[in-house]
């Protein structure tokens, strides 16, 4: 258990340069909210719904993070800052997911009044930017990034970067994920939420420039191959 906690704290430190020690991370509201949710979820699974709700409400009072006791959360969930985060009952979150402040994993209201899978599923290594809303039983595939204030209502493919209302995929290539962790789910390590649109346009411009250079090189290569070899003149005696 101790080793598991240390690994969890180290996973947060790898994604957040602010803390100077593990002890400092222990004070994070997101850490407290996830820890109390583990207790609430255990009570919920044991059909002790009132006690589960009590723990849930107490955690929300302390942290301003509302995680329904029924939500299923994997390993090393990092809720940074956290205030205003809402995670619904049937939400499912994979491993190493990062969520920033103001995010909602919201549900849809079934027309027949019968509950079911109403909330999103986030796969491993997903990053959800501040203020984003992911609504309904949609699936956000591994390594996807949801930009700040985006509204997602459809499934997100693996490695996609989603921005806008409704959210749409940008031209950022999935291979960019080979780099280190990028905060706020953006393309640029120096991302500022206030300049999100500019940053995303810069990312798209860089990708288009790379594609243009590749196309020009391909065209030049094709021209060289197509050109006939020069004829050698016959020498006269």
Name the residue among 172, 170, 174, 171 with its Cα closest to residue 159.
174
Q: pTM of whole model > 0.85?
A: no
Q: Looking at residue 103, what is its pLDDT?
A: 92
Please state, rounded to an integer, the average pLDDT across all residues of the chain: 81
The answer for residues whose C-beta is within 8 angstroms of residue 93's C-beta and 6 or more apart is 71, 72, 73, 74, 77, 87, 105, 121, 122
Q: Looking at residue 233, what is its pLDDT?
A: 57
Q: What are the b/e assignments for 14-45, b being 16+ CB within 10 Å?
A: ebbeeeeeeeebeebbbbbbbebbebbbebbe
Q: Looking at residue 213, what is its pLDDT?
A: 85
Q: What is the pLDDT of residues 184-233, one digit of tens each?
A: 555 444 444 445 566 667 677 777 888 888 888 888 777 776 666 666 55
pLDDT band at 14; cut points 50, 70, 90 = confident
CATH code, 2-225: 2.160.10.10
What are the domain boundaries of the chain?
2-225
Q: Looking at residue 55, what is its pLDDT?
A: 95
Q: What is the pLDDT of residues 97-129, one digit of tens each?
A: 999 988 999 988 766 666 788 899 999 989 998
Q: Looking at residue 18, what is its pLDDT?
A: 81
Name the range with the highest mean pLDDT among 18-32, 52-66, 75-89, 180-194: 52-66
């Amino acid at each position: 258990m101790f080793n598991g906690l240390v690994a969890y704290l180290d996973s947060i430190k790898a994604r957040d340069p602010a803390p100077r020690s593990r002890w400092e991370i222990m004070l994070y509201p997101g850490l407290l909210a996830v820890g109390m949710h583990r207790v609430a979820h255990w009570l919920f699974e044991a059909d002790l719904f009132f006690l589960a709700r009590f723990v849930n409400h107490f955690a929300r009072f302390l942290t301003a993070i509302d995680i329904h006791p029924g939500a299923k959360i994997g390993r090393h969930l990092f809720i940074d800052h956290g205030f205003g985060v809402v995670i619904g009952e049937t939400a499912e979150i994979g491993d190493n997911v990062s969520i920033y402040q103001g995010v909602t994993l919201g549900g849809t209201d079934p027309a027949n009044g019968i509950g079911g899978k109403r909330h999103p599923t986030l796969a491993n290594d997903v990053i959800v930017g501040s203020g984003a809303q992911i609504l309904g039983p949609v699936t956000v595939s591994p390594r996807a990034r949801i930009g700040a204030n985006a509204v997602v209502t459809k499934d997100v493919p693996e490695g996609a970067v989603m921005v806008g209302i409704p959210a749409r995929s940008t031209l950022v290539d999935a291979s960019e994920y080979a780099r280190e962790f990028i905060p706020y789910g953006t393309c640029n390590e120096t991302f500022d939420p206030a300049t999100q649109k500019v940053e995303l346009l810069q990312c798209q411009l860089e990708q288009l420039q790379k594609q243009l250079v590749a196309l020009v090189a391909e065209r030049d290569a094709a021209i060289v191959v197509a050109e006939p070899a020069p004829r050698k003149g016959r020498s006269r005696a």
